Amino acid sequence: MSRNAHPAGPRHGDVYTEGHYAAPPADLNVLDEKVWARTIDRNDDGVVTIGGLEVTRLAEEFGTPAYFLDEADFRARCRAWSDAFGQNADVFYAGKAFLSRAIVRWLQEEGLNLDVCSGGELTTALDAGMPAERIAFHGNNKTPEEIERAIRAGVGRIVLDSFQEIVRVAHIAQSLGKRQPVLIRVTVGVEAHTHEFIATAHEDQKFGIALAGGLAAEAVRRALKLDGLELLGIHSHIGSQIFDMAGFEVSARRVVQLLAEIRDEHGVELPEIDLGGGLGIAYTSDDDPREPQEIAKALGEIVTRECESSSLRSPRISVEPGRAIVGPTAFTLYEVGTIKPLEGLRTYVSVDGGMSDNIRTALYDAEYTVALVSRTSTAEPMLVRVVGKHCESGDIVVKDAFLPADLAPGDLIAVPATGAYCRSMASNYNHALRPPVVAVRDGEARVIVRRETEEDLLRLDVG
Ligand code: LLP
């Protein structure tokens, strides 16, 4: 298990600090298909290609750093999720992982729905033509203005996150003469095995309304009384980058138990449950993610079993994968700038990006891998730390990885599995220009989010 899944488990980096280096891969030129997008290959000249295009040519045309996204892989993953969950379930792509107008169009073409969690994401979704009824609106503190906009647009569901919000959404809907379909987000008390900052179903955190102490039942009581709300069901999201299905099973069981309590108390069988997102992906070869088919089967079985034992009709299930759809589909391409061997310690490889295009390593201690992609090499493996160009020693992109010892400035290296939460959490720290996202498909590359320019930075500066 890697640190992505179990922060407390054995760590590649820990092994290194104790002087026992993790073994380098047998051949550094081989790209593990588990962590790379589907159409990645290496051509006869040793240059890595995506969608049939050489990274060297892509770097010339689009510059570095840049994210290259495999459109065919993205679409295939959308289809895998919707096929796995079938007709009796809905898949909502979590836009926070990465959103742009092109993404919204692909989602529509592949039959997925969309989860948004801010006015900005809502605007992007609507602007790209996503039908409002296929949008779910999330967030623990949606502003009244955002709520009004969502209701006016006719979003298919708003996920209510607090007692205040139950009243707020009901009031705004009523004042617009509407009855808004809603779900109530509950915290089921599951400790997901993931980084503390991305675990969301234990009780001591800001999201949702706890099942414990009857709070969720009270929220349901209040929501059912309000004319502005049409209560569709219950929502639970237990965290992110999770490999172990046990947490989802407990969550599903507790949510169904709440449906049974609601039926007993109010005589109403709520028709929907949403079990959130959070399925882990492979960032390194140590990670073993679950396939959508396996997830759908496990969740379907547990919901059916729990419903049967409470004599409930099976509700419609929805899920909200973000990372599992977009994460594996992209890599970040960097150019090596400087190489600094520190005798007896490690070699620092500085690239032309850093924590501004991938904050996950600094923020969550996330693990990534890296490969030399502009050529092959038969040189010995050297243990490196890939760092960025920011004024901060925590500006680390890949903490511990092996690259060939003949690595040189000007080489292109790529970090795979950066499709989720890298561009979407990118910043302008040190006035860095956020990199473009380039979609590649069948030998064609097209920018779907352009690179920022210095004019973009100056445009916001009104002094
Ligand atoms: N649904 C809800 C209500 C969520 O809050 C999230 C993620 C998702 C779905 C999608 O989760 P996913 O399938 O992508 O794991 N920035 C962090 C992840 C934060 C996730 C926030 N919510 C990271 O880089 O790991």
> For 109-135, how does the pLDDT look when each residue is reduced to its tens digit (9 = 90+)?
999 999 999 999 999 999 999 999 999
Q: Which residues of 22-40 are buried (b: 16+ CB within 10 A; e: fewer)?
A: beebeebbebeebbbbbbb
At 55-92, the pLDDT tens digits run 999 999 999 999 999 999 999 999 999 999 999 899 99
- pLDDT exceeds cutoff 80 at 216: yes
Does position 348 have pLDDT exceeding 50, yes or no? Answer: yes
Cα of 228 to ligand 1 centre, how many Å? 29
Residue 360 annotated as binding site: yes
For residue 422, which atom of ligand 1 is closest to its CA? 24
Residue nearest to atom 12 of ligand 1 (CA): 278
* Residues paired with 317 in a beta bridge: 89, 273
**DSSP annotation of 432:** P
Predicted confidence at residue 197, as pLDDT, reads: 59
Index of the ligand 1 atom closest to the CA of residue 242: 15
Mean pLDDT of the chain: 93
The answer on pLDDT for 14 being more than 90 is no
Beta strands in 194-253 (DSSP E): 209-210, 229-235
Task: Assess whether pLDDT exceeds 60 at residue 21.
Answer: no
Query: Does residue 241 line the site of ligand 1, with CB under 6 A?
Result: yes
Mean pLDDT (whole number) for 242-256: 92
Residue 16, pLDDT score: 46
- So what's the pLDDT on residue 244? 87
Q: Which residue has the tokens 């949403």?
A: 274
Query: Is pLDDT above 60 for 434?
Result: yes
Q: How confident is the model at residue 190 (pLDDT cuts 50, 70, 90)?
A: confident
pLDDT-derived band at 17, boundaries 50, 70, 90: very low
Helix, strand, coil % over all residues of the chain, rounded to 5 = 35, 25, 45
DSSP for 266-320 reads HS----EEE----B---SSTT--PPPHHHHHHHHHHHHHHHHHHTT-PPPEEEE-
**How many CB atoms lie under 10 A from the CB of residue 181?**
19
251 ligand 1 Cβ < 6 A: no
Atom of ligand 1 nearest to the CA of 424: 16
Q: What is the pLDDT of residues 22-59, one digit of tens each?
A: 678 889 999 999 999 999 999 999 999 999 999 999 99
> DSSP 3-state assignment of 106?
helix
Share of the chain above pLDDT 90, in %: 87
Is position 321 annotated in a ligand binding site? Answer: yes
**What token pair was written down for 137?**
């609106």
Helices (H), 321-417: 323-326, 360-364
Ligand 1 within 6 A of 290 CB? no
CA of 359 from ligand 1 middle (Å) equals 15
- Decide: 277 in ligand 1 pocket, CB within 6 A: yes
pLDDT higher than 50, residue 6: no
CA distance 206 to 216: 14
Q: Is 452 annotated as a binding residue?
A: no
In this prediction the pTM is 0.94
Q: What is the pLDDT of residues 447-462, one digit of tens each?
A: 999 999 999 999 999 9
pLDDT in the model for residue 456: 97
Query: For residue 13, what pLDDT band results from cuts at 50, 70 and 90?
Result: very low
Domain architecture of the chain: domains with CATH: 15-69+328-460 (2.40.37.10), 138-321 (3.20.20.10)
Q: Given this model, what pLDDT does residue 22 score?
A: 67
Alpha-carbon dihedral sign for residues 214, 299, 323, 148: negative
Measured CA distances, 6 to 3, 128, 196, 364 (Å): 5, 38, 10, 12
Counting from 1 in the atom list of ligand 1, the atom nearest the Cα of 159 is 3
Catalytic positions, written as ranges: 391
Its sign, for the CA torsion 447, 452, 453, 458, is: positive
State yes or no: 421 annotated in a binding site: yes
Distances (CA, A) of 167 to 5, 161, 262: 38, 11, 19
Among 140, 189, 183, 188, residue whose Cα is nearest residue 317: 183
Report the distance separating Cα 130 and Cα 113, nearest Å. 8
